[in-house]
Chain A
């Protein structure tokens, strides 16, 4: 490529790069969001007489001006720092944001009252008073800011409770939170209420211990960071450092809990049964206690990986809020208290989108009423799992839009309750479930032998996508009360898989005739593949729950063979519209290539000079400089007349071959021109068809025979077979039977002769041969000489380059002598010899003349 052609391209690329870098560096980035730390005093308690200082941070909206305000609440065991990243993100989207450490957490004072209307809810009402006084906050009316509340877990519950108790809340996004805290800690799958529920021992213990500071229990932030913030370890409550052993004992026992709540927990955790008082207390902190009072648009985001607050809680909240006529959307995402992906970005986008719609009222379209995160196969590049969001316009609830009946089979089976409730089956281990889930899809669900009854379906013939809570009817025979844990396995993988690690505990009073129980299994969203079986297992133990310590044996059988399975076929992962680039890029590429090709076109005008039509070759001012700067041909001019045999003579490096390459249109001259029969030579010029050439050695396809090479070459010229004079050419090659052998078997001389024969195909008017006698033996040289002379005698023209002077002397009638790219002399051989006076007085020989000539010029 010529330098001239390369430079603009390089220049354009460099310019684009520099411009891109400059734009990237100078692009105005929004001013970083700054948080203002505040200490906000509040007064709460049943008698409005307790003074508490809340540690809060206020983030003004990034764009300045007045904006709606969002209260971001943290999870249990966390503090305002747990939601800082989320707060910054929300503020950058143009919201004022307030984060605070709830009473009893972080640097706030006071004691934990579990989102009680008398304490935390009153605190939030006063925080709303506080933000209403901020100049950055948009007000609906005096003292009533345009306000949204969001948070996860503990923070999700306060957003629901605040909406119930304060009319100034305009929209909420509660995440992974409860509807009924009593039911979450004492669940029962028969619907008889928490007093008949089974104590969720491990989760309850973890939940309460989060608020008890111990130097040996550094906060593993299981609950604190659930709202999506990076959330450092929960801050330990300030130790009072009291030397009084009684105070110390209370501190390690109850931590920062309100004593009443502490006492309640101590009692229920000891007995494993919920007392009416405990249920009353827990429900005061739950949306179940405020029916019809949450009347604001709510986006409920619940985790599929959550055995603490399973999907049923979001369902109950959704139904309660929707009953008031308020808009509700539900999303089941891949997260929750047991781990999962967390989908931080997706949750933040949905949350901000919800506030955009209901607070900014900027016309953000409604989302889908119901969204479920599902396994979306694998990333095509990394082959790692990716998530897709299946959505539908209607929230189906837990019983789906349709029900399928799956037939189960299995005999009545005895199940033993082990003494002390140990060993226990495993479904999910709170706190570590998320870590172990990464080891394989199957999780670590495991049943103990002798403790469980199993009922199984036939292999599925079509895939079954379960969305909601399946129902199974069993019969329990025996005496007294038994605790059972029902679960639905997906059989077919390498291990039985327990979808989402969930179990449904039931407490049944067995009878000899068999007590029928209708068990609502945990709500799941799970696809059972073809060939897999559904298996319902009822186990007497589960590690996460309290179970009776007295040994017993009961018999469990199916009351109905039908397992009712809810489905929703309208749930579809929306095909994201094709990205704009899928059509724009190819079009742009075609345009770019068209430009590349059109701009690079060489002009095809053939400025023939008619007066030179009879002149086989005229070279004028020809110059070629190679890329390394070496001047290969320097202002060369000469002319060849018809019928001449011209010798192009010069030592190696004189520029002979370069000249011949330019003659063939292989390389582009920097200056000057070559005309063959009056036509300028350019790459691919038609006049080259009147030129036969052999330059710098033969060029054949080694895998083909000599004959095939010659024939295919002639066919490649596109000319008629009869014009080739194939026979005459092959006689010159004189290869005999070797003609049908592959060329790779030829000697150097054979290839040389074949190449000269190829140059003579079609009897071109001008024949150019570069060192034609290299590699030939003396008889062949003599023969070649005769061939060339005979060829020219027919009125054609031959140019032979050589550094062998004797050769030129005997073959040529004219000679052009070159040295270092320049013309030294040109003329008839005879004239050159005649005019030369040898220095040593001997008979004029071309060799002497030549040495004289280049010696002079050198």
Chain B
């Protein structure tokens, strides 16, 4: 076989565009214990909460309008509550895990160098891994509220939603599309975490470092946003708008917080991901 007669310089039938198909990467990641454990936790949490609510005494005051006291009012209320308690940390950890682990763990197993020498072009390797990691993250973010909706409906019935704060009732049929907005915003909002974890994943060989680093920075951002002396700067912290989805459940749908949050999220994510790609292209893979 004379390579020079081939149109490509490589082996017969080698095409860079066919390397590392998404299906292969999905299978490679799916059988990992941490993937299964994370999904197990996310899918079990609503049921654990259902049990917790049914064990405890009923809400002391019928008139309390806090989200946690309204959780047992129906499936939709319950799902909103579950999302509110998990969005700040549990979902962040899940997203950071899927996106932070993906390259760093390959580096730590030394399988990264064989993929690169296969050769899977570096940009393509990152792209495929990013798509799959984002896919798993999205599945995590979507599956939790959906399971909560199911668990809440089974346990507390399919009722109209009871708004926290004002106590107003909104028919369930009206609020269901709003719930789609909530989940959509939660997805966009987690892009920052995903991109940050991905950049760290490319920069380190330690999966724990990448995941922990991303979660740590989110925690630091959370702490900083409580410092009111920072004034308007706080609005530009990546986590500042993380609870803006609550506006989708107010009587009048208020987009402004969610638009700001999405705008920031996309901004950070675009730059962090570009840095990740740029860094990986130039990196010496020594693991």
Chain A residues within 8 Å of B, Cβ to Cβ: 1-2, 5, 377, 380-384, 462-463, 492-494, 527, 529-532, 575-576, 578-579, 581-583, 585-586, 588-590, 592-594, 596-597, 600-602, 606, 608, 610, 613-614, 661, 664-668, 677-679, 683-691, 693, 695-704, 708, 712-713, 715-720, 723, 758, 762, 764-765
Contacts and interface: CB of A to CB of B under 8 A. Distances in A.
Nearest to B169: A530
A684 B24 contact: no
A596 B263 contact: no
A596 B273 CA distance: 10
B240 A381 contact: yes
A290 B235 CA distance: 50
A592 B167 contact: no
Contacts of A614: 2
A716 B225 contact: no
A589 B110 contact: no
Contacts of B121: 683-684
Nearest to B107: A699
Contacts of A377: 165, 250
Interface in B237-283: 237, 240-244, 250-251, 254, 256-257, 259-260, 263-264, 266-268, 270-271, 273-275, 277-279, 281-283
Contacts of A575: 254, 256
Interface of B: 1-4, 8-21, 24-25, 27-28, 31-33, 61, 63-65, 109-124, 165-169, 225-226, 228, 234-235, 237, 240-244, 250-251, 254, 256-257, 259-260, 263-264, 266-268, 270-271, 273-275, 277-279, 281-286
Nearest to B20: A716
Contacts of B254: 575
A52 to B, nearest CB: 45
Contacts of B13: 719-720, 723
A586 B263 contact: yes
B253 to A, nearest CB: 11
A272 B100 CA distance: 76
A715 B242 CA distance: 40
Interface centre among B31, B111, B228, B251 (most CB of A within 10 A): B111
B111 A530 contact: no
Contacts of A601: 281
Nearest to A582: B263
A1 B283 contact: yes
Contacts of A530: 166-169
A493 B65 CA distance: 9
Given A529-B65, A665-B117, A703-B31, A718 B18 contact: yes
A380 B278 contact: no
A590 B273 CA distance: 10
Nearest to B114: A699
A382 B237 CA distance: 12
A463 B165 CA distance: 11
Contact of A688 (B27, B118, B237, B251): B118
The interface residues of chain A, by DSSP majority, are classed as: loop
29 contacts: A1-B279, A1-B282, A382-B226, A463-B166, A492-B167, A529-B65, A585-B264, A585-B267, A593-B273, A596-B277, A600-B277, A601-B281, A613-B4, A661-B113, A661-B285, A664-B116, A677-B3, A677-B9, A683-B119, A684-B120, A686-B16, A689-B14, A698-B110, A716-B19, A716-B25, A717-B118, A718-B14, A719-B13, A765-B1
A243 to B, nearest CB: 54
Given A687-B10, A691-B117, 6 more contacts: A492-B63, A527-B166, A582-B260, A608-B9, A686-B8, A758-B114
A666 B21 contact: no
Contacts of A701: 28, 32, 109, 111
Given A1-B283, A686-B14, A704-B31, A597 B267 contact: no
A416 B135 CA distance: 72
B109 A699 contact: yes
Given A590-B270, A717-B118, A685 B278 contact: no
Contacts of A592: 270-271, 274
A763 to B, nearest CB: 10
A608 B167 contact: no
Given A1-B282, A608-B4, A758-B114, A597 B274 contact: yes
A581 B9 contact: no
B146 to A, nearest CB: 25
Nearest to B110: A699
Given A380-B241, A689-B119, A717-B14, A703 B33 contact: yes
Contacts of A668: 282, 284
A597 B277 contact: yes
Given A586-B267, A690-B3, A380 B244 contact: yes
Contact of A684 (B12, B119, B270): B119
A596 B271 CA distance: 8
Contacts of A708: 31
A493 B120 CA distance: 63
A664 B111 CA distance: 13
Contacts of A695: 113
B20 to A, nearest CB: 5
Given A530-B166, A593-B273, A703-B33, A666 B285 contact: yes
A380 B64 CA distance: 21
A578 B20 contact: no
A713 B114 contact: yes
Contacts of A704: 28, 31
Contacts of B117: 664-666, 688, 691, 693
A578 B264 CA distance: 13
